[in-house]
Structures are given as C-alpha cells and as structure tokens.
Structure 1
Amino acid sequence: MTLTQRQAAYEAEVLRRWQDQSDGAHDLGHLRRVWRNCQTIALAEGGADTEVLLAAAFFHDLVNLPKNHPERAQASRLSARAAVDWLATQGFPAEKLPAVEHAIAAHSFSAAIPPETTEARILQDADRLEALGALGIARMFYVAGAMGGALFDADDPLASHRPLDDRAFALDHIEVKLLPLVHAMQTTEGRRMAEEGADWLMSFRSRLLREIG
C-alpha cells in the first residue's frame, strides 16, 4: 500500500472507533494537521521512518478521553495498545510496531513518558504545535467552554493578584500550559515552529487585554 492508501485506511479505522464521539479539538482535521506537522519536522530533522510516523500520527488519539476524565493520563497508552493490535492484523511490519507504540504512548503531556526515538520526538512536537498559534487559541477556548470554564477573570485577567487557574479561566491556560511548551520541544524545527506560534499567542493576548480595558 502507498502512504496515501494507508492514510485512507487509518482515517476509516479512526472514524469507526470514534463513532458518535463529538470533540472539535480532536477530530479528523486535528489528525491531518498533526501528520502535516510531522512531515514538516521530519523533512528538516531527517532520519525518521515515515511509515511509523504516519501510523502514530493518525492513531495517537485513538482512545480519546476528556481532559477531566479520571483515566486521562492513561489515554495515550490505551491508544498505543489499540493501534498496534489493529495494525498487527493489517500487514503492518511487525518489527516497526514497537516504534509506533512508543511514539503514541510518549506523545501525551499527562503520560509523562520521555520520547526515546526520532519518531516519538517528532510526534510529540507535531501534536503540541496544535496548542500554539491561532489553532491553539481556538482549541483553548473550545475546551474551556466544554468544561464550563470562563473566558478570563474580568477583575484580574493576567492573574496579577491571584493564583493562575486554567480550569476556571481559559486565558490563564496560556501561562500555565501553552507558553511552557516552547521550551519543551524535542526538535530544532519543532522549537522554531513553536516560537512562531507563541509569538502569535502573545499578540492575541495583548489585543484581548486592550479590548477589555
């Protein structure tokens, strides 16, 4: 099978697994963008197995649990196991399955698994880039709304006189989670892309603060 044919098969399997799940922050568009980021980073970094990356990119959220789910930290491990179990029945090279499993398991922030391969480092960066730039802002407010959070603290939007709380206020998430991602990037190209996205985040926040006075 060509990579294009594999991608179509992977997308079909993901949609079959997700069925009626509704999550605008983790949909087919997200998977396709992560795959595009993987390709960009892999081209700049070199040495990555494209076959492994393709499978890892499309199956990294195969088991998609809400952020407030008690087993959220296990989602990437569950996705990894489900992915390799299915791939093993589809003629995927057996010797590459451990690389796919590790890349998926290690991509998650909450799993706290250090990425030990080129593919794992690339996938982790590619997925985290979704949290920066315009997409990062869109997904941040989408998730906050889904979890019942407010846009920002009207009295202290920058948390100058209170502890940061990104569960209560979406805007706090920029400082709590998003900006630190830049320094956690695993690849040179991922870091460059992250810095560009972080600049956009800061520009957006400055504009928002002007509008709310």
Structure 2
Amino acid sequence: MDLALWQHRFERWLKDNHATDDAAHDISHFRRVWMTAQKMLSHQTVNPLVVLTACYFHDIVSLPKNHPERHQSSRLAARKTRDILCHYFPDFPPECYAAVEHVIEAHSFSAGIAPQSPEAKIVQDADRLEALGAIGLARVFAVSGALGVALFDADDPFAETRPLNDKAYALDHFQTKLLHLPETMQTEVGRELARHNADFLIQFLAKLSAELQGDCLGLDSQVQRRFHRSLSS
C-alpha cells in the first residue's frame, strides 16, 4: 500500500476518533509535521511508513502543559498508537510497531528521550520546527491564553533583571525553550530550517521591543543583537 493511501486512512480515522479543541495538536498539526518530515526523507535512509505513522499519531495523547504528568505524554501516545494500529489497521506491518513507538516516545521535548533511529531524528526535528516561525509564534500565545498566562511582564518584558518564568509570562517561553530549539536539531536540514525560523522570532522580539518604546515603525537593534548572539553561541 502506498503512503498516500496510508495517509488518507490515518486522517479518516483521526477525523472520526480524535476530536480535540487543542489547536496546537489537531489533525492539521499532524499534517504539517508530515509535510516538513518529507523535506528530510530524501537525505536519510529510512522507512517512510514509520515516519508517516509517527507524524500522524505522535500527539494522540498530549497532556496539557500545566499537567503534572506532562513529561509522560509521548510514552502514553506510543502505547496508544500501538493499540490503534493493532485494532484499527490490522494490515499495518507488525515489524514496524517498535520503530513507530520509539519515534513517538523520542519526539517530545519534555520527555528527554534521545532519538536513536533516523526516523526518530526526522520526526523530532519536524515536530520542533512547528514550534518555530509564524506557526510557533501563534501557538505560544494561543496556548498561553488558554492557560491564563500573561503576555509579558510589562516592567521587564525580556527578563533582563528577573528570572525567566514562562509559566507566568508567555514571552519568556521564547528564551526558556524556543530560541534553544535550533541547537537540538538532529538533521542538517532541520538545523537550517530551525535557524531560519528562529531568525523570524528574533525579528518579532525586536519589533515588539520597539513598539513597547513607542516606535511603531522600527526594530530594536539591541534586542536583535542580544538574541542573535544567544542563537549562535
């Protein structure tokens, strides 16, 4: 069976069985992660069915960011995916079960599981790229709004004189996680794309800083230099 047909079957199952109000982990997220993963497939010797399956089911369990067991999400998702494949896709190759489970377990930032296979490296990179760029920017504030987190600390928006706290301020998440993602990328393509999208986030930070100082047209060059230094270090 070709990949396009597997993709169609997975999407149909998700539409019927995975209703969610989590905009960061809905079917369109799974589809985008797969589209990104395909950019890396030609650079690696991999099983594309394993990559496709993991892209579509890696967040089938996704506990909220403020859940005490958040770090267990990927392990729970891996086990649930095996159950789904066994019960709903009996023609799925059983020899791929373990590979799919590892890819899903290793994709998570909070789980801290190192990817051991090229498939796991591709999916981890593709998923993390979703947290960067324009979509990543939108997700930060969508998720923070749902959790009741403030946009930023009005007195010290870039945490120059206070500890970072992304549980209190959405903007802090750029420094606690997002701008560190390029250094975690596992593939060369992933690193290039991550650096490009991180540059976009830095431009946003520089624009925001300028606006906070009453400049609606400019960019704060000091903020640009600061975060570009941290990105290259």
Give the distance between the partners of 2:4 and 2:187, measured in 1 at CA. Answer: 26
Alignment counterpart, residue 72 of structure 1, candidates 58, 63, 70: 70
1:211 aligns with 2:211: yes
Partner of 2:174: 174
Q: Which residue of 1 aligns with 2:144?
A: 144
Query: What letter matches 2:47 in structure 1?
Result: D
Q: Which amino acid aligns with 1:32?
A: R
- Identify the residue that residue 23 of structure 2 maps to in structure 1: 24
Cα distance between partner residues in 1 of 2:14 and 2:112: 24
Instruction: Output the TM-score relative to the length of structure 2.
Output: 0.88
Percent identity between matched residues is 52
Residues 5-154 of structure 1 aligned to structure 2 (within 5 Å) = 5-19=5-19, 21-43=20-42, 45-89=43-87, 90=89, 91-154=91-154
Report SS of the residue matched to 1:191.
helix
**Cα distance in structure 1, aligned partners of 2:53 and 2:73:** 17
Distance 1:60 1:165 in 2: 27
Secondary structure in structure 2 of the residue aligned to 1:179: helix
Give the AA of the match of 1:153: D
Shift of residue 24, structure 1, vs aligned partner: 1.1
1:162, CA displacement in angstroms? 0.6
Offset at residue 183 of structure 1 (A):
0.3
Q: Contact conserved, 1:59 with 1:83, CA < 8 A, in 2?
A: yes
2:15 and 2:167 mapped to 1: Cα distance?
29
SS at match of 1:47: coil
CA distance in 2 between counterparts of 1:17 and 1:60 reads 15
Q: CA deviation at 1:96?
A: 1.2
Report how many aligned residue pairs link the two structures. Answer: 211
Question: Whose relative contact order is higher, 1 or 2, with alpha carbons under 8 Å and at least 6 apart?
Answer: 1
TM-score, normalised to structure 1, is 0.96
* 1:192, distance to aligned residue in structure 2 (A): 0.5
Quote the offset at 1:189 in angstroms: 0.6
Where do 5+ consecutive residues of structure 2 fail to align?
214-233
Q: 1:17·1:62 contact (CA, 8 Å) conserved in 2?
A: no
Secondary structure of the residue aligned to 2:156 is coil
Pick which of 8-17 and 89-98 moved more.
8-17
**One-letter code aligned to 1:85:** D
Structure 1 portions without partners, runs of 5+? none
Distance 1:18 1:70, change over 3 A: farther
State which drifts further: 87-96 or 143-152: 87-96
Q: Deviations over 1:105-155 (max 9, x none)?
A: 110011111100000000000000011111111001111111111111111
Shift of 1:15: 3.1
Counterpart amino acid of 2:53?
A
Q: How much does 1:22 deviate?
A: 0.5
Report the Cα distance in structure 2 between the residues aligned to 1:55 and 1:149, rounded to whole angstroms.
33
Computing the radius of gyration over CA atoms, which structure comes out larger, 1 or 2?
2
Q: Residues of 2 paired with 1:169 and 1:34: CA distance?
A: 27
1:61 partner SS: coil
* Cα shift at 1:3: 1.4
The structural deviation recorded for 1:85 is 1.9
Runs of 4 or more, structure 1, over 4 Å off, are none
